[in-house]
Amino acid sequence: MALTQYQRGRAFEYRIIKDLQKRGFWCMRAAQSKGIVDVLGLSRGQILLVQAKISGALGPAERKELVELATEVGGMPVLAERSDGRTLSYWLVYLDTRREPAPIPGYVDVPRAASAKVDAQVVLDQPTQ
């Protein structure tokens, strides 16, 4: 039996939580929120407001809400995506369509192929100890 879109999204959110917990974040998932933030990540001096989109497609209204909320609470607006179907990527979100790798501990920037639409991709590195 194929997974529903909701089940795929939920599984992706749990993957994000597991990954961030490995990096020292306390995480909370907003179950069925259909809201601005899917995963909240807290660590000493860092608040991550994560919108999980398997495809990486974040609409203008969602982008605006996420950036405004992050600004209001002093957090970092982050888009988590799985654009190639496997690699978990984190991006800082801006009001315009640009994005750049999110400075999350344990991640490094790796250039994509020249034909890629985005300049850099954040790939999993070994957790810092």
**CATH match for 5-124 among 1.10.1740.10, 3.90.1150.10, 3.40.1350.10, 3.20.20.80:** 3.40.1350.10
> Is-contact 65 53, C-beta < 8 A?
no
What are the sequence ranges of the domains in the chain? 5-124
Kindly tell me if the per-residue pLDDT of 39 is higher than 70: yes
> Is-contact 81 89, C-beta < 8 A?
yes
What is the rounded end-to-end Cα distance, in angstroms, of the chain? Answer: 40
Q: Which residues, 6+ apart, have CB-to-CB distance to 15 below 8 Å?
A: 88
Classify residue 9 by burial, with Cβ atoms within 10 Å: 0-12, 13-18, 19+: middle
Kindly tell me if the per-residue pLDDT of 105 is higher than 90: no
Confidence at residue 102, expressed as pLDDT on a 0 to 100 scale? 81
For the segment 71-99, what is each residue's pLDDT rounded down to a tens digit?
999 999 999 998 777 788 899 998 887 77
| DSSP one-letter code for 21 | H
Residue 59 corresponds to which tokens in the numbers above? 């609409």
Residue that is written with structure tokens 């009001």 in the block = 95
| DSSP one-letter code for 45 | T
| Measured distance CA(75)–CA(101) in Å, rounded | 15
Question: pTM, whole model, 2 decimals?
Answer: 0.76
Kindly tell me if the per-residue pLDDT of 15 is higher than 50: yes
